[in-house]
Amino acid sequence: MVHSVRVKGGRASYANSYIKTARLQQEKEAQKPMFLKMGDLHGTRGLLLVLLDKAKAVVGSILTGEGTGTANTSLVYHARRLLALHEGDLPYMLRVLCNGVVETVGRLTLKDGNAAYPGPFTAHPKLDPKTGEMFFFGYSFDAKPYFRAGMVAASGEVSRQWVIDVPYPVMAHDCGMTEKYAVLLHLPLCFDPKQLAMGDNLPVVFKPNKRARIGLLCRDMPGCGCDVENPNAKPAPVQWFELPAFFAFHTANAWEDEDGRVHLVLCTYPKFDFDFEKKHKCEVPDDLKPRLVHYVMDPASGTHASHQVSGVHCDFPMVNPAHACYTTRYAWGATWGLSGIAKAAYPLCLLPGAEDDGFLLVYVYDPTLDTSTMNVYDAKTMDPEPLARVRLPRRVPHGFHTLFMTEKQLQAQTPPRLH
């Protein structure tokens, strides 16, 4: 479900609507859940459900040809299209009507000439505000290539696709982009199906004995010239930097400095366990909580360095989108437990102008009243008292990511077109 607040003429209107994915349509017709969820994948029961899911696909009781994603993770506006994203599928195109209601147009088709991109498509593509290009990638656990990536031109057409050669499959949620490079994260959160047979475990496990790897792919590198699932597709050259094991869901930003070094700011977990609270029933230790860490890679020497930006535990970072992919000084993120907002500054990055001129828009849930508001905060002063508060007629459940669309973007939305 997507929730929206339309602000115009001094008034705010709220709307919500389900994104009409192929998955939802099948489950509505069946009037029951038909597909596996991440939370189902526990222990031997989860293993049996995986086998049952595959059997249902074989006999046709569930249809997977139009994807099985939920389109519920994040939103991006690119090439006059509003897209709903989930890293297990292709994007779904949405359209915001003049009254703020959001309608589903359908599942997007991405093509590079005659070669269709098969998916999946990350929930966190990166947009270059200067060129209008959008970098994306996808990963899979079950078959090579485990990584594939591509670039979408400002026009909305896929300009090139790449096969990325990695030694083993991992869960990869985010990426980065600079003026010259796409930044790939191959971090040791690995798929291990044996875990399903070893008690009530998830099959995705952090492996501290493996190295974390950050890869640099030149943005102007020619594509593979064919479908990325083609066994003859040649992998793109990537320069990898190996570091001690860590995990990160989200990238704050990436950029290059005048010496050609690549900077990457991540919300870094020194260790990671999806099931920690369930298994241990205790306070989460510090090394299982994220902090902003600034990584610097030097492509010329092959060396790297890192330092912690802030001691505050936070995730879901963002920067001023007008400065994404280029040097930034500030990042904003949600503090641990989603209890507040933190602003961090990188002391080495001094920019002219007011990068933090603007507002932070946040959905806030009050459990004592079971109500939600949309709060507006000053991004520069970080005053805890909101500048404005819009009380919403419905509770907005905890979600993942939001998107602000300008009036110009709302008016510029392309007519419904999926190709």
pLDDT digits (tens, 9 = 90+) for 358-407: 899 999 999 899 999 999 999 999 999 999 999 999 999 988 999 999 99
DSSP 89: S
Confidence (pLDDT) at 54: 80
The candidate with the shortest Cα–Cα distance to 343, out of 292, 401, 386, 382, is 382
How far apart (Å, rounded) are the C-alpha atoms in residues 90 and 113? 18
Confidence (pLDDT) at 55: 81
307 annotated to bind ligand: no
Confidence (pLDDT) at 419: 61
124 annotated to bind ligand: yes
The model scores a pTM over 0.85:
yes
Distances (CA, A) of 215 to 212, 235, 296, 349: 10, 13, 12, 23
How far apart (Å, rounded) are the C-alpha atoms in residues 171 and 206? 10
Confidence (pLDDT) at 339: 76
398 annotated to bind ligand: no
How far apart (Å, rounded) are the C-alpha atoms in residues 35 and 306? 41
Give the domains, in start order, of the chain with CATH numbers.
2-412 (2.130.10)
CA 334 to chain centre: 15
Confidence (pLDDT) at 281: 64
Confidence (pLDDT) at 417: 66
173 annotated to bind ligand: yes
Confidence (pLDDT) at 225: 78
Which residues of the chain register pLDDT less than 70? 200, 276-282, 347-353, 417-419
Confidence (pLDDT) at 65: 85
**333 Cβ contact list (under 8 Å, min separation 6):** 252, 267, 292, 314, 315, 316, 317, 318, 341, 342, 344
